[in-house]
């Protein structure tokens, strides 16, 4: 299974950082130009759905909550820490550590004796509100006018050979460096960010409940 990591930052502005396993190459023009990030997000969203149905993936969500006093929402007094891990295949997620099976709108947890409806317990309600299926996040983000931008690459530029006209009909080749674009930051629209913030607030997570 491929691994996708989603990090949810606290504060009124919620953003999703996505690390995709496949890099997107720059244009072949001599003057390097980054691919359109919004178009890349739509393509990743479609590929992600196909990959989920065919091979599945693992998802890891980390939530840090507390006080922040700067524009980047960096936590200075952490009061909440939640860490979730799930194995996803198509519409089904398995969370082995909590013995949970869930879909987009339903779920069940084994408490040692019997299976219980996930949303019938306080912890289950909190998890259901906080741990959104990555497919839903990507689909919403790619269709609701989100702000999409490339993050600095964590891998070195790749070496590529490009054909260069030497004069007349003769063609030579030259090795050049090409940036690899593989990380996107998606900032949700205000209304959408507020919707997710309310879900976090209703979970009781911010009050430590």
Query: Which among 108, 105, 148 has a CA at the least distance from the CA of 18?
Result: 148
Q: Does the residue 147 lie in any domain?
A: yes
Q: Is residue 36 part of a domain?
A: yes
pLDDT tens digits for the chain (209 residues)?
444 444 433 332 333 334 333 334 444 444 568 899 999 999 989 999 999 999 999 999 988 877 888 887 788 888 778 899 999 999 999 999 999 999 988 999 998 889 999 999 888 888 988 898 988 888 888 888 788 999 988 888 878 776 666 555 555 567 778 888 888 888 878 887 788 778 777 777 666 54
- DSSP string for residues in 45-108: HHHHHHHHHHT-EEEEEEEEEEE--STT---SEEEEEEEEEEEEETTEEEETTTTEEE-SS-EE
Question: pLDDT value at position 172?
Answer: 57
Give the whole-angstrom CA distance, residue 142 versus residue 36: 13
Please report which helix (H) or strand (E) contains residue 116, including its range.
strand 115-117
Q: How many domains does the chain have?
A: 1
pLDDT on residue 2: 43
User: Which residues lie closer than 8 Å to 187 by C-beta, 6 or more apart?
Assistant: 13, 14, 15, 146, 147, 148, 149, 193
> Is 62 within 8 Å of 82 (Cβ atoms)?
yes
- How many CA atoms are closer than 13 Å to the CA of 64, on its beta-carbon side? 11
Q: What local confidence, expressed as pLDDT, does residue 97 receive?
A: 93
On whether residue 69 sits in a domain, the answer given is yes
Q: Is residue 207 part of a domain?
A: no
In a domain, 31, yes or no: yes
Whether 139 is in a domain gets the answer yes
pTM above 0.75, yes or no: no
Residue 208 lies in a domain: no
Q: What is the pLDDT of residue 194?
A: 81
- Structure confidence at residue 155 (pLDDT): 85
Give pLDDT, residue 86: 96
Domain of 143, in residue numbers: 2-202
User: How much is the pLDDT for 208?
Assistant: 52
Nearest residue to 104 via CA among 115, 123, 88 = 88
pLDDT at 120: 92
CB 51 within 8 A of CB 2: yes
Residue 71 maps to a domain: yes
């Amino acid at each position: 299974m491929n691994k996708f990591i989603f990090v949810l930052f606290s504060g009124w502005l919620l953003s999703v950082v996505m690390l995709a396993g496949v890099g997107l190459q720059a244009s072949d023009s001599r003057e390097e130009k980054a691919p359109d990030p919004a178009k890349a997000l739509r393509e990743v969203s479609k590929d992600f759905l196909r990959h989920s149905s065919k091979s599945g993936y693992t998802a890891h969500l980390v939530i840090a909550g507390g006080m922040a006093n700067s524009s980047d929402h960096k936590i200075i007094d952490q009061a909440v820490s939640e860490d979730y891990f799930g194995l996803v295949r198509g519409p089904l997620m398995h969370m082995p550590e909590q013995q949970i099976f869930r879909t987009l709108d339903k779920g069940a947890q084994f408490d040692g004796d019997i299976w219980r409806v996930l949303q019938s317990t306080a912890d289950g309600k909190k998890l259901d509100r906080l741990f959104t299926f990555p497919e839903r996040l990507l689909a919403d983000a790619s269709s609701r006018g989100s702000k999409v931008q490339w993050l600095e690459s964590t891998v070195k530029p790749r070496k590529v050979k490009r054909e260069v006209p030497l004069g007349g009909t003769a063609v030579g080749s030259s090795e050049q460096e090409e940036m690899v674009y593989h990380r996107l930051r998606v900032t949700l629209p205000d209304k959408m960010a507020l919707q997710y913030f309310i879900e976090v607030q209703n979970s009781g997570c911010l009050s430590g409940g």
